[in-house]
Amino acid sequence: MSIPRLHGSVLPVAPAAAVSELLVLLPSLGTGSELWAGAAAELRRSCPSLRILRIDLPGHGGSPAAREPFTVGDLATAALRVVDEVGGGSFHLAGVSLGAAVALELALGVPDRVRTLAMFCSGARIGEPAAWRARAEQVRGSGTASLVTGSAGRWFAPGFLETDATGAGARLLGSLLDVNDASYASCCDALAEFDRTPDLARLAVPTLVVSGEHDPVTPPESMRGLADAVPGARYAELEGASHLAVAEQPAVAAALLSELIEQPAGNGEHTTTFARGMTVRREVLGNTHVDAAIAGTTDATAAFQDFLTRYAWGDVWSRPGLSRRDRSIATLAVLVADGHLHELQMHLRAAQRNGLTRDEIAEVLMHVALYAGLPAANAAFGIAKDVFAEPAPDDTRNEGAPNG
C-alpha cells in the first residue's frame, strides 16, 4: 500500500474577513470538486470567514492517478498532507460517501485537529466487500463509462436530472467519464476493506450525519444507525434527495454545515444552552423551517439567531414548569391578543406538533375572542383555516417560514 498524491483547490475568505477558519470538503467516488460547487458558493455567502479547501480523490479531478493500491486510511493521510500544504492547523471537515469515510478516518486519527465532522450519505462501512470488488473488476474491464447509467439512478432522486435547471447533475455524470479507471477501481478495493464500525463510540468530534431520502446506497435507516452510534451526533434527512444530496440540495446542505460550524465552541453554559435550544427549536418548528432560517442568516442577523436559539428555545421553551403543549396554548393566545399574526402560522403548525388537536386550537382562539376581541380572533381563524388545509404535521420535517 502507498500514500497517493492528492491535489486541492482553495476558495479564499471574503476580503473584509478579520479572521478565517478552514473547511475541508471531500467528494464521493466518481466525482470531483464540482460536487461541492453549489454548497461551497452558499457557504461563502453565509460564512464569509471560511477558507474552503476542496480535495480530489486519486485519478479524479485535479489529482493524479494512483500507481499503487491504497486504503481509506492512506487517503486520509494524503488529504491531511494537502491541508498542511495550505497552512495546516485545525479545520472543519465534510465529505460525501467515500469522502466522508476519509473524513471519518481523519476525525478518529487526528481528533485534535478536526473541529467538526459532517458525513453526507456515507457510513463507517459502506456496502458489501464483494460488491465493491465486482465494481472494481467491471471498471478495470469496461471503464467508468460502463457506470454512467447505473450511477444516474443511484446518485439522483427520481426526476432530478429532468428538472435540474443548473445542469449540476449532467456535469457530474459527464465528469465520471474522465475519472482514471485504475484509480477508481483502487478506490473500490479500499472501500471493500473499510470498516470503522467498532470505533464510532470513541469519536470525540462534534458530528453531523445527513442522509438523502431516496438514497439506495446509504439509506436513511443506515444513516440513523450511524448517528446513534456516534456520541452526541445530530442526524438530518434531506427530503427529495438521493446519494449526491449535496448537489441536489446545495442550499440546505450549506445551511446544515453553517449551523454546525458556527455553533459556539467550548464546553461552557453558552454551548450547552445553544445545543439544547437548537434541539428543541427543531423538534417544535421542524427541520425544514429551521434550515430555512439558518440559510437566511446574514452578518447582521447572526447574533440574533444565536440569541433566539439560546434564550427562547434553550431557556424558556426548555423549562420544565410547563409542557410544550401548554406553552403552545400560551403562545397562540399571546400572539393573537397582541396582533403578532405574522408569527401565527408558524406556531399553529408547532402547536399541532406539540399535541394540540385542531378542535383544541379553535377553542384557544374562541377564548382569545372573549378576552382580546373579535377582530383579532377573526383574523386568527382565517390564518388557521389555511394551516388546517395542509396535511397534519406528523413529524419534524414539515414546511415553515424563515422566522423563529
| CA distances to 108, 327, 331, 364, 379 from 373, in Å | 60, 21, 17, 13, 11
Residue-wise pLDDT tens digits, 324-375: 999 999 999 999 999 999 999 999 999 999 999 999 999 999 999 999 899 9
Q: How far apart are CA 132 and CA 90, in angstroms?
A: 33
Q: Which pLDDT score is estimated for 117? A: 95
Taking phi first (over 0 means left), then psi (-120 to 50 degrees means alpha), and beta for anything else, what does residue 208 get? Answer: beta
Same-fold call for 8-262 versus 274-404 = no
Which amino acid is it at 54?
A: R
Region 278-286 average pLDDT = 85
Identify whether the C-beta of residue 254 lies closer than 8 Å to the C-beta of residue 23.
no
Per-residue pLDDT at 349: 93
CA distance 207 to 230: 8
Topology of domain 274-404, per CATH?
AhpD-like (1.20.1290)
Q: Which set of grid coordinates corresponds to residue 80? A: 491531511
User: What percentage of the chain exceeds 90 in pLDDT?
Assistant: 68
What ranges do the domains of the chain cover? 8-262, 274-404
CA dihedral over 392, 395, 397, 400, signed as positive or negative: positive
CATH number of 8-262: 3.40.50.1820
pTM: 0.68
User: Distance between CA atoms of 38 and 43, rounded to whole angstroms?
Assistant: 9
Q: Who wins on pLDDT, 60 or 44?
A: 60
- What single DSSP character describes residue 313? I
